[in-house]
Amino acid sequence: MRPLRILAAAAATAVAAAALAAVASAPPAAAAGFAQVGNFGSNPGNLAMYEYVPPALSPSPAVVVAMHGCTQTATAYYQNSGWPKYADRHGFVVVFPEQRTANNSNRCFNWFQPGDATRDQGEALSIRQMVGSAVSRHGGGRVFVTGLSAGGAMTAVLLAQYPDLFAGGSVVAGLPAGCATDVASAFTCMNPGVDRTPAQWAQAVRAGGRPRVAIWHGTSDTTVVPRNADELRDQWTAVHGISTTPTSTGSLPGPTRRETYGSGQVQVYRVQGMGHGTPVDPGGATDQCGATAAYFLDFVCSSYHTAVFWGLTGGSTPTPTATPTSPPPAGATCHEGRTTSMCRPAGPPPATGTSTRSGRGRRWASTTPGSGTPCGSRRPATTRSPTPAAPDPRLADGIAPRVTSRPPE
């Protein structure tokens, strides 16, 4: 009997040791709150990762990636965007990537550099690794991405390069994926914008998934002109194979016009009178969020309506007073074979303004063309003055500034 007891004791000791080893090797549970995360991957884009973990996580919590604009930081987006409020209420994780000045002197994500805007390369891969880290440590489920300005442009890039990863996206004052490949073309995309057919835009999106996409834009944005919201709509309705004519329209606070395409695969939110920034609406109501600051503008809580659109709040998308829209007349066309629904309406252009842009040591002035041109006509060419104009403070968040070389990996 004594040998049997010795064997039993040895077996019990081995089981206990194995259990302790398993506990030691398991990733530690992240503490609730906002904190920087290190060692999330090889990080070829040299970005920093921050995340917000609510006090109580839901089972298989969603992971939302929220990216700041130029001159901003992850902390600023955490403090002002309103996303932590809904993470607390609905138990999802928010990842806040942060650009470094070593990569871009104005902290802009390099959405216009092919080495950072291609699947499994540079900054795009770094953000993909952040997602993998968050999902692994928190047992995450569905993944979404949003961002402002350069962060909005990078949002479109990530949706296009990883449609198999992201269930949905929200582009705030951003641009279509594939619009630019260098600094000069980035400025053209920003203002006056680039016009392509829906099919041409769709070619920039990889096969593998069809994420739901929300598009937010201020109608008075002179940094990234509202035309980009139309081109984003064209891109993602083409990806989903649906019409560029909205199936319904409605009104939200702000005032904001909401356009729904298809059965809700794409929604466009046009915030009337808003310039360049993320729309917020400070307050304690369910649909109020955020704080006003530079490029956080008091109109409507975009984070709440985006969370609802993605299905993160546990309910269905609220339906504002809807107005069904009529399809264009049969056979009506514009240039490049587009239907009239794909053209911008005619009307008197707004007052033009002069702005100063800089990139890689160059400075030039350009006159912003009017946003309303007759269907079938081209926009007037942007004129450049040889004499630099005074800096325009509205362009402090210009999303394609001088790029500094990334240090060796």
The catalytic residue positions are 149
- Residue 276, strand partner residues: none
Spatial contact of 119 and 161, defined as CB atoms under 8 Å apart: yes
88's CB contacts (< 8 A; 6+ apart) are 54, 55
Helix then strand then coil, in percent of the chain rounded to 5, is 30, 20, 50
Rounded CA separation 404/360 (Å): 9
Compute CA distances 346 → 18, 149, 325, 333, 377, whole Å.
Answer: 73, 27, 18, 15, 10
Pairing outcome for strands 48-53 and 33-37: antiparallel
Q: How many residues in total does the chain contain? A: 409
How many other C-beta atoms are found inside a 10 Å radius of the C-beta of residue 136? 11
Kindly tell me the sign of the dihedral angle through the C-alpha atoms of 192, 193, 197, 200: positive
Helix axes 150-161, 122-138, angle to 10 degrees: 80
Helix axes 83-90, 302-310, angle to 10 degrees: 40
Spatial contact of 335 and 378, defined as CB atoms under 8 Å apart: yes
1's CB contacts (< 8 A; 6+ apart) are none
Q: Which residue has the tokens 């930081």?
A: 73
Q: Which residue has the tokens 């009506």?
A: 332
Q: Which residue has the tokens 């100063």?
A: 356
Rounded CA separation 125/117 (Å): 9
Burial 367-405 (b: 16+ CB within 10 A, else e): bbbebebebeeebeeeeeeeeeeeebeebbbbbbbebee
Spatial contact of 100 and 107, defined as CB atoms under 8 Å apart: yes
Rounded CA separation 396/399 (Å): 9
